Chain A
């Protein structure tokens, strides 16, 4: 039972390059989320998705693009990476609905932009 996985786990890139972070979940959860975690800021929502082909902005969406063509995948793309996007990125999923809305987090991707 893989649950929710992220790849790569670590990534070093250069300013201006495009980077895609992958997220895959095996539970068929409706909702998926992307957060970034920075010291002093906790977890900030970048984008989320309520279902395949439905996405919406979170608190800090600028510089990021998402897609969700399949329920199980929710890739996050940095179109032109900047140093301020150096962070730990967590993907999460939830079944949704009032009784089942805890979020399950992936192991995270540590991204460094030089």
Chain B
């Protein structure tokens, strides 16, 4: 079955440093979504990428979808304490049904 790997599992950064998490799928994806889960909370949708090579920005967050539609990344510039949480990618298979396969997540902690 489809597998989605995400690295690193944990990342500790000083406030103001940049942060990147990477997502790799074992199969080609129709699209990929990113979610953020604050400590003790539930996952919240951030963005969806659909096109090969697509890049989207949300303020300090930059999302990329690979040319082969098998990998993706999330980059946060100049982290702030509000960025703390676990970031998940979630891939939808090439046939586009509604199921998502979630990555294992990257837990970001910020050192003030």
Q: Which residues of A contact B (CB under 8 A)?
A: 31, 33, 35, 40-45, 48, 50, 58-59, 90, 92, 94, 96, 98, 101-108
Q: How many residues does chain B have at the interface if contact means C-beta atoms less than 8 Å apart?
A: 23
Contacts of A90 in B (CB 8 A): 42-43
**Cβ contact within 8 Å between A96 and B98:** yes
Report the nearest A residue to B40, measured CB to CB: A108
Q: Of B43, B45, B96, B98, which is within 8 A of A43 by CB?
A: B43
Q: Shortest distance in angstroms between B90's beta carbon and chain A's nearest beta carbon?
A: 8
Q: Which residues of B contact A (CB under 8 A)?
A: 1, 6, 9, 33, 35, 41-45, 48, 88, 90, 92, 96, 98-105
Q: Shortest distance in angstroms between B39's beta carbon and chain A's nearest beta carbon?
A: 12
Q: Assess A105 versus B98: contact at CB under 8 Å? Given A42-B88, A42-B104, A42-B105.
A: no
* 7 tightest Cβ-Cβ pairs between the two chains A and B: A43-B102, A102-B45, A42-B104, A105-B42, A42-B102, A42-B105, A105-B43
Q: Of B44, B99, B103, which is within 8 A of A58 by CB?
A: B99
CA A75 – CA B9 in complex, angstroms? 31
Contacts of B99 in A (CB 8 A): 33, 45, 48, 58
**Cβ contact within 8 Å between B45 and A104:** yes
